[in-house]
Amino acid sequence: MNFNYNFSNDNLDKDFQRIIEKFLSGLDISIQEGVVLFKARGKEQKILFNLANSLREKINGNKVSFVINRNINFTNVCHMGCSFCGFAKKIQDKNSEWLSFEEIVLRSKQAWNRGATEVCIQGGLHPKLPSNYYLELIKSIKKELPDIHIHAFSPFEIWYGAAKSKKSYYDFISELKEHGLGSMPGTAAEILDNKVRSVLTKNKLSAKEWIKIITTAHKVGLPSTATIMYGHVDKPIDWANHLDIIRNIQRKTNGFTEFVPLSFIYENSPLYLENKKLVRKGPTLDEVYNMHAVSRIMLSGYIENIQVSWTKLGPQVAQNTLDLGVNDFGGTLMNESISRAAGSKYGQEITSLEMVKIIRASGKIPIQRNTLYKTIKTYEDNDPNYIEPLVPRGSLDPIKFLNQKPNSSKLSSTH
């Protein structure tokens, strides 16, 4: 690894220095040590970023990946009442939506024709969802597009579908896999601590249940992502604890493909709007950067891919994270509803050409991958063809910042 630091040159925090030296000797970072790393600022923070960047380089080389995919949120109707959620609507709301299978298949075909290798499908827990809905959805897409990868259904949806169909998690997930489910998003993890979850989700899906569903999926042979949603009522100890839980699951199952930090978007979140004094406006920029760097370090040896969410952070801040541990820019998405419903101002889509430009401008080699991180195409000095965004993005231009110097959000410490 290309990390050489002479600790004797700087008057560093002794605890921080001990933790880094311990890590460099080959030992894992403990939960309490993770908290110290999350709080690093100034000289210590620079070392943290350098270490995370060196680990990225050692594990992923100079390549940064992205996947061409389409998000399909088949319904925004959900009566679970998670307090942070700005996406869910009630059946009677006039902007409630429930797509037909025909429409979902049509959207999948459009995506396939635009080069997508994956559809990412999630929806609210609609009270009228038939018990075989999830299975029939998979079947209807696979019938028309047998080669597309279906990345679908959060553990909350699996919990709901298994309960509705009165099946064990194992049987329910096995059946979905058998009919073409390729992997699962590890969303609905939020913070894997019941005290925090009782504020966010009324603890309807407990941390224990989330872990049980994810480990069952891995046991069935279905890989998943892992996520954290941070910057609301949580604290660094909750983040370190969460990473430790993810690490322990991976130690047992090796089923996680990547870790994706998701920053809390407060603007339309009832959690924030109803408790402005108690709930934060999402993480600070320092916290965003440290989250990606500490994830890289704490998950080193367990999860190879750290993905940034450009829908939450915007393309410019997302690009900055490529210098502190991140090796994956996520999906082109084509349609993004959940972050935008919560108040995110970033667009629906970053086309593959734009992905390539953003990644290359950070000095890395862009690669198009499939969902399971197999390289499809390397863009060393060639570009993908120009393609119009599926949905017009108005004045939002995701690569405008590349022509604006200097990069004002580069590792600064504002909100």
Residues of this chain that interact with ligand SF4 (CB under 6 A) are 78, 80-82, 85, 87-88, 124-125, 156
Q: How far is the CB of 309 from ligand SF4 (least distance, A)?
A: 15
Q: Report residue 260: phi and psi, to 5°.
A: -125, 105
Q: How far is the CB of 188 from ligand SF4 (least distance, A)?
A: 7
Residue with smaller CB distance to ligand SF4, 156 or 266: 156
Q: How far is the CB of 77 from ligand SF4 (least distance, A)?
A: 9
Residue with smaller CB distance to ligand SF4, 160 or 289: 160
Q: How far is the CB of 236 from ligand SF4 (least distance, A)?
A: 24
Quote the longest CA-to-CA distance of the chain: 65
Q: How far is the CB of 304 from ligand SF4 (least distance, A)?
A: 28
- Alpha carbon distance 150, 374 (integer Å): 15
Q: How far is the CB of 53 from ligand SF4 (least distance, A)?
A: 33
Q: How far is the CB of 386 from ligand SF4 (least distance, A)?
A: 35
Neighbours of 192 (CB within 10 A): 23
Beta strands in 216-316 (DSSP E): 224-230, 256-263
With CA atoms as reference, report the closest residue to 415 among 305, 295, 263, 215. 263
Residue with smaller CB distance to ligand SF4, 45 or 73: 73
What value, to the nearest 5°, has the Cα angle with vertex 357 and ends 352 and 359? 95
- Alpha carbon distance 358, 377 (integer Å): 16
Query: How far, rounded to the nearest angstrom, does the alpha carbon of residue 142 sit from its chain's CA centroid?
Result: 25
Q: Report residue 401: phi and psi, to 5°.
A: -60, -20
DSSP class of residue 22 equals H
DSSP class of residue 400 equals G
Q: How far is the CB of 80 from ligand SF4 (least distance, A)?
A: 4
Residue with smaller CB distance to ligand SF4, 201 or 290: 201
Residue with smaller CB distance to ligand SF4, 16 or 160: 160
CB 367 within 8 A of CB 64: yes
Q: Find the helix or strand (DSSP H, E) in which 267 lies.
A: none
Instruction: Write out the DSSP string of 324-357.
Output: TT--EEEE--S---HHHHHT--S-S---HHHHHH
Q: How far is the CB of 132 from ligand SF4 (least distance, A)?
A: 20
CB 359 within 8 A of CB 66: yes
What the block records as the tokens of 391 is 């949905």
Q: How far is the CB of 82 from ligand SF4 (least distance, A)?
A: 3
| Lookup result for tokens 């941070």 | 230
- Enumerate residues 6+ apart whose C-beta is below 8 A from 110: 70, 390
CB 109 within 8 A of CB 320: no
Residue with smaller CB distance to ligand SF4, 263 or 305: 263
Task: Indicate the burial class of 387 (C-beta count within 10 angstroms; 0-12, 13-18, 19 or more).
Answer: middle
Residue with smaller CB distance to ligand SF4, 231 or 398: 231
- Alpha carbon distance 254, 93 (integer Å): 42
Residue with smaller CB distance to ligand SF4, 19 or 77: 77
Residue with smaller CB distance to ligand SF4, 81 or 392: 81
Residue 68 CA: distances (Å) to CA of 124, 210, 257, 369: 24, 28, 16, 8
Residue with smaller CB distance to ligand SF4, 116 or 192: 192
Q: How far is the CB of 91 from ligand SF4 (least distance, A)?
A: 13
Residue with smaller CB distance to ligand SF4, 82 or 299: 82
